């Protein structure tokens, strides 16, 4: 029997991790023009980031199901930029997601965003798992902001909780 | 001197309000195909809704500042649908925002979305303020889901908090 470690996280913990990350961004000298939030995991982190460093948020929808609910073995775009020339070209972009797991989604987004010729892209994730990755971090990425590093637990995010009190109780024990 | 009532809300309170709203949606018989989240206030509520009723989230960016940071007196689109024919036409859409204040943003989005010929649109907001509105709720809206109604307090959302502990403490007193 394989037991997988489950790690419960509260909203406040993520908010505080984001706050720390935005201090790191300021100290790094990277001064983003906008965020690109990877949906749907990046929506909540990106909105939290905006509190500490105000900038527009553009979202992209990436899923392993297409809009007709067919399961895919590679990332599919469910929403993309509507005006990439205006939104991305020549801009400093902060790409935001909740977790760097296999890095497949983040790698895919980086490849796609680079086609629109940003001035620079940096990445922010709340959590990184120290595991085999499907993409290298490309050499053009000078800033990769990670809130916390873990081995490979099953991370239980607060937005997925059926019961917030139970989530808080389990997070205290995590 | 005018004193405005400030109402502090925690993440867990919003999560629980969303949970109740999704029960109302199920009971109403409205069975949405997708959400359209109004950015950036609708991002966090929409992601919470998805936990209880799983469906894709498409986002639209509406602001009173354009992408070049000029202040506008009317809503401007900072991001729109990239494939509205595929995303909206003939679909049952749940439009999500955090608050119905003057209803200017929601009214604007409804007008714009209707151009793409959805089968139906319903609206979900976490909070409604009982105040003068700039738009009527159009007659084609059969379902308008409101988590809580208030008079006209200044609502302090958890994602805007500098300090989560202070936010929780003030929310207990609100």
Tokens standing for residue A67: 């809009």
pLDDT recorded at residue B1: 52
* Gap from A19 CA to chain B (nearest CA, Å): 8
Residue ranges in chain B whose pLDDT is less than 70: 1-3, 67
Residue A29 pLDDT > 90: yes
Chain A interface disruption, residue of B44, B80, B88, B169, most A CBs within 10 A: B44
Rounded CA-CA distance A164/A143 in Å is 34
Q: Provide the CB-side half-sphere exposure for A65 (13 A, CA).
A: 10
**A4-13, pLDDT tens digit by residue?**
789 999 999 9
CB spacing of A50 vs B57 below 8 angstroms: no
CB spacing of A67 vs B56 below 8 angstroms: yes
CB spacing of B44 vs A44 below 8 angstroms: yes
* Gap from A109 CA to chain B (nearest CA, Å): 16
* Gap from A160 CA to chain B (nearest CA, Å): 5
Mean of the pLDDT values across residues A140-165?
A: 97
CB spacing of A44 vs B46 below 8 angstroms: no
Q: Is the pTM of this model over 0.90?
A: yes
Find, in chain B, the residue whose alpha carbon is nearest to that of A167: B12
CB spacing of A79 vs B67 below 8 angstroms: no
Residues in chain A with CB shorter than 8 Å from the CB of B76 are: none
CB spacing of B79 vs A59 below 8 angstroms: yes
* Gap from B134 CA to chain A (nearest CA, Å): 25
Residue A23 pLDDT > 80: yes
Sorted by where each begins, the domain ranges of chain B are 6-173
CB spacing of A43 vs B48 below 8 angstroms: no
Find, in chain B, the residue whose alpha carbon is nearest to that of A34: B67
pLDDT recorded at residue B2: 60
Tokens standing for residue B83: 């494939």
Residues in chain A with CB shorter than 8 Å from the CB of B56 are: 61, 63, 67, 78
CB-neighbour burial class of residue A18 (10 A; exposed 0-12, middle 13-18, buried 19+): buried
Residues in chain B with CB shorter than 8 Å from the CB of A44 are: 43-44, 47, 159
In order of A38, A96, A113, B63, the CA distances from A60 in angstroms are 5, 10, 10, 18
Q: Note if A101 is an active site residue.
A: yes
CB spacing of A56 vs B37 below 8 angstroms: no
Q: Token pair 């994602």 is at which residue?
A: B159
pLDDT recorded at residue B174: 80
State whether residue B44 sits within 8 Å of chain A by CB: yes
How many residue pairs bridge chain A and chain B with CB atoms within 8 Å of each other? 112
* Gap from B58 CA to chain A (nearest CA, Å): 7
Q: What are phi and psi of A35, to 5 degrees?
A: -100, 145
Given pLDDT bands bounded at 50, 70 and 90, which one contains residue A2? low
Query: What class is the B6-173 domain?
Result: alpha beta
**A61-91, pLDDT tens digit by residue?**
998 877 677 788 888 899 999 999 999 999 9
The B residues from 124 to 153 touching A (CB cutoff 8 Å) are none
pLDDT recorded at residue B152: 93
Looking only at the bridges linking them, the beta strands covering A57-65 and A71-79 are: antiparallel
User: DSSP letters along A35-85, please?
Assistant: EEEEETTTHHHHHHHHHHS---EEEEEEEEE-TT--EEEEEEEEE--S-HH
Catalytic residue among B33, B97, B101, B163: B101
pLDDT recorded at residue A72: 82
């Amino acid at each position: 029997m394989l037991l997988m470690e489950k790690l419960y996280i509260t909203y406040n913990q993520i908010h505080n991790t984001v706050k720390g990350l935005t201090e790191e961004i300021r100290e790094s000298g990277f001064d983003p023009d906008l965020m690109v939030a990877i949906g749907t995991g990046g929506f909540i982190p990106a909105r939290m980031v905006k509190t500490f460093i105000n900038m527009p948020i553009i979202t992209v929808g990436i899923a392993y199901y297409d809009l007709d609910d067919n399961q895919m073995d590679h990332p599919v775009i469910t929403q993309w930029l509507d005006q990439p020339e205006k939104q991305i070209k020549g801009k400093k972009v902060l790409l935001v997601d909740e977790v760097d797991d296999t890095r497949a989604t983040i790698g895919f987004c980086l490849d796609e965003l680079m086609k629109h010729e940003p001035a620079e892209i940096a990445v922010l994730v709340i959590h990184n798992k120290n595991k085999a990755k499907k993409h290298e971090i490309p050499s053009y990425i000078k800033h990769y902001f990670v809130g916390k590093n873990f081995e490979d637990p099953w991370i239980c995010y607060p937005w997925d909780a059926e019961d917030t009190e139970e989530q808080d109780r389990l997070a205290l024990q995590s």
